[in-house]
């Protein structure tokens, strides 16, 4: 009988699993205590999570997922163990390419919008694993610098969902080899968890009692979170409390190493022996970077953390106001830019990714402009263009009902980082630096709830109607503009003054104000022209000589096609 019951249970779970809506539940709250044992590469966790049924049906079965190298130890509801079946679930959302999934049968069905709290325990190891990259053909030697997450005696650094599922997640399978599948699943997860709260107590125990260990987990942006970093470093054991509230687009991450502490408020700077030169670049960049960021975004409201990698080729990663980046030799040439980025986060907390990250990347470009001129800044922005160009080309010609990735709601990094950097740059060009500074000074994360909050600030600060711009660039994804000179007629007055009448055409579905430079014998003259979506604008420009050439767009407006931006006048 017992055996039969077990069989029934198995059958029930198996059939439930096949019809399982894996994204029905959202984890709205994490309250976890995690103990790390670096020598064993081991992690043990216990705590509670809250799950909300975001589907339209009552749900009794929930699939909780962890990295495949971790194992479920206990799952309880109201102190009572609940039935669950643990099974492997293939998904590239984890670095191992698979998840340990617990298919849990709850004591009773949860109605839509209702929540349930689970007490959970799990443990296992997190070792370096580049499976999901190597199996699609990335050479191991390269993959290991990207897939660097691991717990190890010398250096520990582990990123969360999208890299290592070191806390429970609820997702459909993601496949790296299938186009955008991985990014779609990860972006969907980030969007669902954006308002979730995550509280973590992290403890580390090490046998090597001679060392001082630093435990970093963090982000510190008071209006949003009250996270702690590296407190206190102690012999052989350390403890840190972190809080991400709300998660926003941030991926929780922790790192443990025996660092050299070079901190100087508001910068917590941790380097590894042998990387003194690179660490020095960060220390030297602190003063000018702070002055610049304070001038634009106000004083830092919390600290920022920049910590070194043991592997000098490891790809940098940012989690809130914490950046992991190698400080070995050449890698620190971006020290000033990196610092500016993190300091902006410390000055301007926001749960809106396009504001939080967009402004930080925009500030990098402005800092570059201050140091090397506008062209250097545009070159930096240009590096961002490739990130969203291909995806945007689709929407440039797509039917108007396709949704794309509106900036205001996107959780796709290419958009909320790269496209947003351009949007803030264009806004500065539209309203001027002083007006934008006023807007930034008035921005409050807690008030950024209404969709038009930023537009209203901008309209009040600049006295300019920007509804069309926000419509095309922020509230909708309308692809990119595509400018060309439709016609250009040079003419000369009786008094010998040269003019050129230019009609610019924008064949894209997003309007913009674009710079225009007319070259003439002896120099060039620039102006700006607003050309709305699918329309033309005509203007008359006085030129000090005979015009020879017109160049549209200096690179400050991201455009789908840059090959049709030069107009050459026929020789007289």
Which residue, judged by CB position, is nearest to Zn ion in the bound state? 360
Residues in contact with 480: Cβ distance below 8 Å, sequence separation at least 6, in sequence order: 389, 392, 393, 396, 508, 510, 558, 559, 560
Q: Restricting to residues 3-32, which ones interact with Zn ion according to CB under 5 A?
A: none
Q: Maximum Cα–Cα distance for the chain, whole Å?
A: 108
Nearest distance from residue 44's CB to Zn ion, in Å? 31
Considering only 117-125, 258-266, 313-321, 559-567, which stretch makes contact with Zn ion by CB under 5 A? 313-321
Place of tokens 């987990």: 217
Nearest distance from residue 120's CB to Zn ion, in Å? 30
Instruction: Pinpoint the alpha helices (H) of 147-275.
Output: 181-193
Nearer to Zn ion, 129 or 318 (CB): 318
Considering only 124-132, 207-215, 349-357, 389-397, which stretch makes contact with Zn ion by CB under 5 A? 349-357
Nearest distance from residue 246's CB to Zn ion, in Å? 16
Residue 119 CA to residue 117 CA, distance in Å, equals 7
Nearest distance from residue 318's CB to Zn ion, in Å? 5
Nearer to Zn ion, 345 or 478 (CB): 345
- The DSSP H or E segment spanning 367 is helix 353-372
Nearer to Zn ion, 363 or 458 (CB): 363
Nearer to Zn ion, 69 or 290 (CB): 290
Inter-residue contact 257 to 270 (CB < 8 Å): yes
Nearer to Zn ion, 84 or 388 (CB): 388
Tell me, by CB under 5 A, how many residues bind Zn ion.
3
Nearest distance from residue 225's CB to Zn ion, in Å? 14
Nearest distance from residue 268's CB to Zn ion, in Å? 16
Residue 519 CA to residue 485 CA, distance in Å, equals 14
Q: Which two tokens stand for residue 386?
A: 């490739």
Residue 519 CA to residue 547 CA, distance in Å, equals 6
Considering only 114-122, 350-358, 363-371, 377-385, which stretch makes contact with Zn ion by CB under 5 A? 350-358
Residue 264 Cα distances to 175, 286, 460, angstroms = 43, 9, 38
Report if residue 360 touches Zn ion, rule: CB under 5 A: yes
Nearest distance from residue 123's CB to Zn ion, in Å? 32
Report if residue 359 touches Zn ion, rule: CB under 5 A: no
Residue 136 CA to residue 133 CA, distance in Å, equals 6
Burial string for 330-356 (b: 16+ CB within 10 Å, else e) reads: ebbebbbbbbbbbbbbbbbbbbbbbbb
Report if residue 325 touches Zn ion, rule: CB under 5 A: no
Nearer to Zn ion, 353 or 490 (CB): 353
Residue 435 CA to residue 423 CA, distance in Å, equals 15
Nearest distance from residue 323's CB to Zn ion, in Å? 8
Site for Zn ion, rule CB under 5 A: 318, 357, 360
């Amino acid at each position: 009988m017992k055996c039969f019951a077990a069989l029934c249970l198995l059958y029930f779970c198996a059939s439930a699993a096949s019809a399982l809506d894996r994204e029905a539940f959202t984890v709205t709250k994490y309250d976890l205590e995690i103990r790390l044992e670096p020598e064993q590469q081991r992690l043990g966790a216990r705590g509670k999570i809250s799950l909300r049924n975001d589907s339209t049906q009552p749900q009794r079965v929930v699939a909780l997922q962890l990295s495949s190298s971790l194992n479920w130890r206990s799952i309880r509801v109201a102190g009572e163990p609940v039935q669950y079946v643990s099974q492997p679930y293939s998904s590239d959302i984890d670095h191992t390419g698979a998840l340990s999934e617990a298919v849990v049968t709850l004591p009773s069905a949860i109605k839509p919008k209702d929540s349930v709290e689970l007490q959970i325990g799990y443990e296992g190891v997190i070792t370096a694993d580049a499976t999901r990259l190597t199996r699609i053909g990335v050479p191991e030697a390269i993959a290991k610098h990207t897939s660097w997450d691991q717990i190890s005696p010398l250096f520990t650094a582990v990123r969360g969902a999208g890299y290592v599922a070191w806390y429970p997640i609820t997702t459909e399978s993601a496949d790296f080899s299938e186009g955008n599948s991985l990014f779609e699943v990860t972006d969907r997860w980030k969007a669902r968890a954006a308002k979730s709260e995550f509280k973590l107590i992290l403890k580390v125990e090490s046998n090597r009692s001679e060392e001082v260990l630093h435990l970093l987990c963090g982000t510190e942006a008071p209006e949003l979170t009250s996270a702690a970093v590296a407190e206190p470093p102690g012999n052989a054991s350390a403890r840190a409390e972190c809080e991400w509230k709300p998660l926003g687009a941030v991926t929780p991450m922790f790192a443990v190493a025996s660092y050299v502490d070079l901190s100087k408020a508001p910068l917590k700077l941790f380097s590894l022996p042998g990387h003194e030169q690179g660490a020095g670049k960060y220390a030297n960049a602190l003063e000018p970077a702070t002055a610049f960021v304070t001038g634009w975004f106000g004083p830092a409201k919390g600290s920022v953390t920049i910590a070194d990698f043991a592997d000098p080729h490891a790809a940098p990663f940012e989690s809130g106001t914490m950046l992991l980046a190698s400080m070995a030799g050449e890698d620190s040439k971006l020290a000033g830019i990196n610092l500016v980025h993190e300091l902006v986060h410390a000055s301007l907390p926001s749960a809106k990714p396009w504001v939080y990250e967009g402004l930080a990347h925009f500030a990098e470009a402005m800092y570059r402009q201050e140091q090397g001129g506008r062209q250097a800044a545009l070159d930096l922005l240009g590096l961002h263009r490739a990130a969203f160009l291909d995806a945007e080309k689709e929407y440039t010609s797509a039917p108007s009902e396709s949704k794309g990735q509106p900036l205001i709601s996107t959780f796709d990094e290419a958009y909320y980082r790269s496209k947003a950097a351009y949007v803030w740059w264009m806004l500065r060009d539209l309203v001027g630096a002083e007006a934008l500074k006023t807007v930034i000074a008035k921005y409050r994360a807690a008030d950024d709830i209404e969709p038009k909050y930023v537009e209203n600030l901008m309209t009040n600060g600049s006295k300019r109607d920007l509804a069309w711009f926000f419509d095309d660039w922020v509230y909708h994804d309308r692809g990119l503009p595509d400018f060309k000179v439709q016609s250009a007629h040079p003419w000369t007055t009786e008094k010998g003054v040269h003019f050129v009448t230019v009609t610019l055409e924008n064949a894209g579905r997003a309007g913009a104000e674009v710079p225009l430079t007319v070259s003439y014998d002896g120099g060039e003259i620039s102006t700006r022209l607003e050309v709305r979506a699918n329309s033309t604008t005509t203007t008359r420009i006085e030129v000090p000589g005979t015009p020879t050439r017109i160049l549209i767009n200096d690179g400050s407006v991201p455009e789908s096609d840059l090959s049709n931006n030069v107009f050459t006048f026929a020789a007289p």
